[in-house]
Amino acid sequence: MHQRDARVLTQLGVQDILFRHIVMMLRPEVFLSRTDLPRATASAALVAQLCDYMRANLNAGLTLTDLEAFSGLSARSLQLAFKKQLGCTPMQWLTEQKLHVIRAKLANAEPCESVTSLAGAYFPNQGDFARYYHRLFGELPSQTLGRKRH
C-alpha cells in the first residue's frame, strides 16, 4: 500500500517509524545488508549513489525506509554516512534538494501557477513546506513568487 508514496502513510495517519517497524517484522530481508560493497569503502560511493537516487525521485515521497531498502544499510548507518560526508541526515539533505527545486520553479513560474501547485508534489503539508522554505531562504515562498510577477 505504501508504494513509495509517503503521502499514503500521512493520509492513513501512519508515521514512517511505525511503518518501518511493521516492515521489519513482516519482511526482515528488506533490512539485511548488501554484500556487494564493503562497508568501509562504500561510504562515499554509497552516499553519492543515494544522492543520485534521491534527486531522481524528489517528488516520490521517499522515506528513510525506502533509503534503507535501496542501500541495504540501517537508518543509523545511513545517518552516520550522510553526517560524515555531507554534514546532515539523508532526510535533511532530501528536504533541502526539494526546496531548491521549488525555489527555481517559483522564480520561473507562469502566471497561472501558485505556490501550492508547485510545491504540492514535493510536500504534502504546505505549512511544513513554508516553514522549511523560510528557514532556508529567509523569505516566504509567496515572496519569491511575487518577485517573479512584479
Q: Write the pLDDT tens digit of every residue in 104-122.
A: 999 999 989 999 999 998 9
Distance CA 74, CA 103 (A): 32
Amino acid 40: pLDDT: 42
Distance CA 56, CA 146 (A): 28
Q: Is the pLDDT of residue 25 over 80?
A: no
Name the strand (E) or helix (H) holding 42: helix 39-56
| In the chain, % of residues over pLDDT 70 | 73
Amino acid 16: pLDDT: 64
Q: Which residue has the cell 514512517?
A: 16
Cα angle: 102, vertex 53, 128; to 5 degrees: 35
Amino acid 142: pLDDT: 92
